[in-house]
Structure 1
Amino acid sequence: MKSITIKGSERESVGKKATKALRNAGKVPCVVYGGEKPLHFSADELAFRNLVYTPNAHTVKVDLKDGQKVKAVMQDIQFHPVTDKILHIDFYQLFDDKELTMDIPVKLEGNSPGVRNGGRLLFRKRKLSIKALPDNLPDFFDVDISTLKIGDNITVESLLSEDFTILHPESTVVVQVKTQRAAVVVEDEDEEGVEGEEGVEATAEGAEGAAEGGAAPAEGGEAASE
């Protein structure tokens, strides 16, 4: 998984006044949990742009001015209810030999033939929770929908890997194509057309037979009268 470096400074004070002063200066107060003790630091709000405002998942390298470097992953974030500015971020420290739980985004690749025929694509799981060692975390799940016809689906079972554990039942549907009233299955339409033509020919043959059968008694009647 790709990592983003956040350069900051360790916070000397964690009180309300100090926190307010940081925010007024355009910085975001943060905490890293999971180590021997919480690590309080701050960084410029712009430093979190590629971490927060993206659908992709990333790990973080916290690089502090005093030389401390910590690998972490974002756990929680708070925004201002009016301005949407970042108020606070919680991180969790990563260890190479310790598994962690993380939500990984799902990306769809290709074009579904079922959708082209009028079906409706339902993206059921845009993120999947997994448990893995930091080095085994995938950037995203790449799901190919180029073979999905109307009525087909892709489940978690097809995404299983030995590198991580997906924390959802194997039968969980990730994406599916459902039918709509306007949906048309091209193969069925062709078959129905052929059957319809045969039905018309059979009806025509029946009508000709009935006409011929109707003419015979008339001729027989004339012969009898003669």
Structure 2
Amino acid sequence: MRRVKVKLTERVPGKKSETKRMIKEGFIPVEIYGKDVENVHAWIGVKDFLSLPHGEAFLMEAEINGDKRVCILKEVQFGWLGDNPIHVDLYDIANVKEIEVEVPIEFVGTPAGVEFGGIFEALMHSLTVKARPANLPDKISIDVSGLGIGDVIHVRDIQPPEGCEILDNPEETVAVVAEPEIEQVVTEETEEETEEQASE
């Protein structure tokens, strides 16, 4: 799994004046916690946060006052508009043998059924995976080029990367090629018949 280096600034909880100033200057409060590790309160710049990878899972090497903590992005809280991050939780994996992470799905190819009018529908965009940190994938690629109309991919059909276990319900539908929608064409003759029947 890809590692991303980020520098954080130490944060002192309880200082409202500092909190207001840092937020105004473009920083987001961060909490780092984990198994048998000391919790850390910090700040991350909004620009640094927004530059983090999208569409893939990654490990974050967070440095604060020279101390480096390898973490996963556990949770992000957003403001009421839904697009402005206001708080970030990082989970330190130093003392963890296996971790559970949501890994994005990458659909590869164009389903054969689409050429005959089928509609490809992705119902899941990530899978929950358990693995040792060293075995965590950036993403899980699924080849959908062989899917015909009516074909379905379930979680059970996906071969997990080596050293990984997929925790989602095996019966859950990941993607499907649906039947094409049939448009009803109403002719002038049909309209006249409908009007005649309505008047009788």
Post-superposition shift, 1:18?
2.5
Contact 1:57/1:139, CA 8 A, preserved across alignment: yes
* 1:39 paired to 2:40: yes
Preserved contact between residue 33 and residue 39 of structure 1 (Cα < 8 Å): yes
Q: 1:23 to 1:112 in 2, by over 3 A?
A: same
Mapped partners of 2:142, 2:93: distance in 1: 28
Provide TM-score, normalisation by structure 2. Answer: 0.82
Question: Structure 1 counterpart of 2:105, which letter?
Answer: V
In the TM superposition, structure 1's runs of 4+ consecutive aligned residues that sit over 6 Å from their partners are none
Provide the C-alpha distance between the structure 1 equivalents of 2:79 and 2:173, rounded to a whole number of angstroms.
35
After superposition, residues 84-103 of structure 1 pair within 5 angstroms as 84-95=83-94, 97-103=96-102
Which residue in 1 is equivalent to 2:8?
8
TM-score, length basis structure 1: 0.73
RMSD: 2.1
Shift of 1:82: 4.0
CA contact (8 A) 1:96 1:133 kept: no
The correspondence of residues 44-55 of structure 1 with structure 2, limited to 5 A, is: 44-51=45-52, 54-55=54-55
Higher normalized contact order (CA 8 Å, seq sep 6+, divided by chain length): 2
SS in 1 for 2:62: strand
Instruction: Quote the residue 1:174 is aligned against.
Output: 174
User: Which consecutive unaligned segments of at least 5 residues does structure 1 have?
Assistant: 184-226
- Give the corresponding residue for 1:67: 66
Q: Indicate if the aligned counterparts of 2:31 and 2:40 stay in contact, CA closer than 8 A.
A: yes
Structure having the higher Rg: 1
Letter in 2 for 1:27: F
Partners of 2:14 and 2:84 lie apart in 1 by 19
Q: Secondary structure at the match of 1:21?
A: helix
Equivalent residues, number: 181
Identity between Structure 1 and Structure 2 (%): 29
* 2:119 is the alignment partner of 1:120: yes
Farther-moved stretch of structure 1 (79-88 vs 30-39): 79-88
Given that 2:37 and 2:92 are in contact with CA atoms closer than 8 Å, whether structure 1 keeps it comes out as no
Contact in 2 for aligned 1:96/1:134 (Cα 8 Å): no
Aligned to 2:145, the other structure's residue is in SS state: coil
Q: Distance in 2 between matches of 1:14 and 1:159?
A: 48
CA pair 14-90 structure 1, distance change in 2 beyond 3 A: farther
Give the letter for the 2:148 counterpart: K
Per-residue CA distance 1:160-188 (angstroms, 9 max, x = gap): 334111111323221111212449xxxxx
